[in-house]
Every structure is written in structure tokens, then in C-alpha cells.
Amino acid sequence: MLKSLLVCISIFTVSGLLESVAQGEPTFVREWEFKVLLNDKEVGTHIFRVTDEGESTTVKSDAAFDVKILFFNAYSYRHSCVEIWDELGLVSIESSTDANGDDFKVNGKRLDDHFLVSNRDGESKLAAQPYSFAYWNPEILTKTQLVNAQTGEYEVVEVTEAPSQPVDYQGNQLEAKRYDILVKDQIISVWYGADDMRWLALESPAKGGRVIRYEPVRLPEVPEPEPGDQVKLNTDAGSVLLDIYDDRAPLTAANFLKYVDEGRFEGATFYRVVTLTNQPDNDVKIEVIQGGLSFSGEHPNNRAPIRHETTEETGILHKDGVISMARVEPGTAAGEFFICIGDQPELDYGGKRNPDGQGFAAFGRVVEGMDVVRKIQQQPEADQMLIEPVKILSVVRVEWGSYRRTWIIDFNK
């Protein structure tokens, strides 16, 4: 049983939340505290502290477990880990573990083309941007390998969605989704909030039919989805005002705002419209208008593609008026975007519009100008491409309660 407990605990070690805030903003700190039980007997705690500052995220984890038999410690476990992340993945890791007298130390750092890890067996090279068992970041559910922070080794994983049930937290029943992670012939079950995808709980079998459970004592508060910035698109069909949800989709929103701030949307248009009648080869129908610099995605004003932030990670679903990033493969989105006309759930994570099931990266919503969006959708087209693309004449970043011009370019002058 103790060996099985060690295997399970080692995989519970800490990683990072890939969420960053703009430079110059206050540090944002979140904490998870879990009561750890072996069957129904409490054996310790595991505390996670995630600190976002600028473009860097630091994660500290501390675990302490003691399994007692007849008032004597039969098993003792202490683990401490610090990881640093950026928007690409893990930057560095340093962990130390005392597993009932068996000591582990891991150090790792990102180099140019790989991630170098040293442990008690020597040095090894991992992929340049690895993920570890970042339970609070639902993107791990899309991975096939995760780094064990206790050993510094890759673990092959397979993730499936499973039937769920509510999670008890401070006397409240929280609606939750459950996912099973198969690793080393064991299944780790992880629960996330049904609406906000906040990590809620964890469970794994131990030898002898026992069960290890992480029950939440303290969870980070989930703020209401307040918009951070507004952007006004002035087109030759009218104006559209957008709320940009940089609190929920920090990477995608920051990318869009950089296009705005750096004037990269010069020459942009709405060029594609998708209606229920012009997609005969698609079994899954959608309704959107698409804009940006080029349908091909190739343009000198484009920035480098960004990591794919799924709707499961951000909680921003493709409802009527939601703006989202166009892409081919996950991680290829750059400067092309689309606006939903009506609710489009097949564009969310797990939707069937894209065969890979990863959905598209939503990051804001139209608050004024849906009549303009619908007007654009009704313009003459051929094979979904507008015969006369609608010009985006100017772009304005707007502060709440006032209009602040970041840049405005009038391409008619």
C-alpha cells in the first residue's frame, strides 16, 4: 500500500497555471489547500500557491503526509516544489522530496531546443516546452505526456471524460465535471467546476482497495467575468463595439490587443461570411463572419502564432456575438478572427465543427453593433467569400466610461 501511495503522491506534485497579467499590473495570487485522506482517514495537507506577475507565473507546492498505525508513523512524506512558467510552458523546476527516507531532488530549466532535467539518475532532455501535472489548468487534459515533478521523468497519460457528481466545498455542492487520467495503470480522477473549470478535487486508488482523496479546504475565488478593455471596430458597414475578456482569456486577448496597439490591422477587412445555406459540405453548420488581414493567414503584419486557449480553459463559450480566433491547427491562430451569429456550441471545446475537438479560442463579445454584424453576413458572396470585402476603417481601444484612442488609422485618407 505504501509503495502505491508513493506513486500516486508523486504524480500529485505541482505545476503552473498558464495565465498571465499585463506588465505593470498588481501581482495576482491564488491558493488551493487540500485535505488529503487515505480512505476516510486524514493523513495530511497539500497547499498550492500560484502567483502571476507580468508574463511569468510562479507556482509553489508544499505537501506533508503521515500515515500512522497504532500511534506510530508508518509512512512519512514531505515534498516542496517551485516551478516557473511563461506562456510557452515550463521555464524551470526545483523540487525536493523525502518519501519515508527516500530522497529525491529535481532541477530543470528550459534551453534553446530542449528542457534539461537533472535528478538522482543524472541528466535527461525533455521537449522544449513540457507540461507537468497542472491540474488547475484544464489544458493538461489535451496532453499525452506530463512531467512528474518528484522524479523529473515524463509519464505517458491518457485522458477521458467520465460521469461526474457534485463536489462538496464548505457545505455547498459544486456542480463539477470529472476527467480520468490513466497513468502507470492507475486512474487519477480530477474534478473541475462545471462553469468555471476551476480545479476542485482529486482521487486515485491505492493498493489494497484503498483510495487517496484530495478534498478542498480552500479554493481561489472565481471573479465574475468582467471585461478588461473595449475595442471599437469602425467599418464601412457601421461600427462594432467589443468587450475583451482579458481576465478569462489572457493570452488570446493580449494577442488581439497587440494587433490593435501596434497598428497591425491596417488594411484589415471582413472577407468571409458563413450562413446556413452556403456550407453544403459541412454536416455541422455554423453562422459567423470572419475578418482580419488575410484568409490564408499569411500577411507581413502578422505576429507569431499563439498557444491555443480552449473554451474549457477560459469558460468563454461561443454564444451570440462572441469574438474568437480563426485557426487551422491548435496553436496556429495569429490575426484572423470571427464573430458568432447566434449560439455556436460546436465551436467550443469538444465541439464537432473541427475534427480535432479542440474548438476555437474565444476572447470577447460584441456589446454594440450586432445589427452591423448581421448586415455584413447578408452581403453578396461566392463560396463564403464576400464579393466586396467590408473594410475595417479604423480601430479604437476604449476605456470604461471614456474613449481613449490607442491608435486610429483612417485608410480612406
Neighbours of 183 (CB within 10 A): 20
The reported pLDDT for the residue numbered 33 is 94
Answer yes or no: do 203 and 246 share one domain.
Answer: no
Q: Do 92 and 170 fall into the same domain?
A: yes
CATH number at residue 238: 2.40.100.10
76, pLDDT greater than 70: yes
Helix (H, G, I), strand (E, B) or coil at 4: helix
Could you report the per-residue pLDDT of 41-56, keeping only the tens digit for each?
899 999 999 888 877 8
Percentage of the chain lying above the pLDDT 70 cut: 87
Q: Collect all residues with Cβ–Cβ distance below 8 Å to 216 and sequence separation of at least 6.
A: 32, 33, 34, 35, 167, 169, 200, 201
- pLDDT greater at residue 325 or residue 195: 325
pLDDT score for 209: 81
Q: What is the mean pLDDT of residues 257-280?
A: 94
Residue 171 CB neighbour total at 10 angstroms: 5
- Residue-number span of the structural domain to which 46 is assigned: 2-218
Residues 18, 128, single domain; the answer is yes
Count, residues in the chain: 413
Count Cα neighbours of 302 within 13 Å in the Cβ-side half-sphere.
18
In this prediction, residue 68 has a pLDDT band, given cuts at 50, 70 and 90, of confident
Same domain, 258 and 184: no
My answer on whether 156 and 241 are in the same domain is no
d(CA 11, CA 246): 31
* Together in a domain, 98 and 234: no
Give the pLDDT confidence score for residue 82 in this predicted structure.
95
Whether residue 206 is found in the same domain as residue 76: yes
The mean per-residue pLDDT over the stretch 252-277 comes to 94
Average pLDDT, rounded, for the chain: 85
Q: Which of 218, 242, 264 is the last residue of a domain?
A: 218
375 and 396 both lie in a single domain: yes
Q: Is residue 299 part of a domain?
A: yes
Three-class SS state of 390: strand
Check whether 25 has a pLDDT greater than 50.
no
Q: Note the pLDDT tens digit of each residue in 31-41.
A: 999 999 988 88
**Residue 283 in domain:** yes
The count of other CB atoms within 10 Å of the CB of residue 160 is: 11
Domain-located, residue 193: yes
Same domain, 137 and 273: no
User: What pLDDT shows up at residue 129?
Assistant: 82
Q: What are the cell numbers at 362?
A: 474565444
Position 12 pLDDT exceeds 50:
no
Q: Does residue 227 have a pLDDT over 70?
A: no
Binned at pLDDT 50, 70 and 90, residue 189 comes out as very high
* Partners of 371 in the β-ladder: none
Same domain, 184 and 311: no
Looking up residue 100, the CATH number of its domain turns out to be: 2.50.20
Task: List the single range of 33-47, 69-83, 118-132, 236-250 with lowest mean pLDDT.
Answer: 69-83
- Say yes or no to pLDDT of 393 above 90: yes
**183 and 241 co-located in one domain:** no
0.75 surpassed by pTM: no
> Rounded to 5 degrees, what are φ and ψ at 259?
-60, -40
pLDDT at position 225 over 90: no
Q: What is the domain count for the chain?
A: 2
Residues 197 and 136: beta-carbon distance below 8 Å: no
Say what the pLDDT of residue 134 is.
Answer: 81
176 and 283 in a single domain? The answer is no
Domain assignment present for residue 413? The answer is: no
Asked if residue 170 lies in contact with residue 156, where contact means CB atoms within 8 angstroms, the answer is no
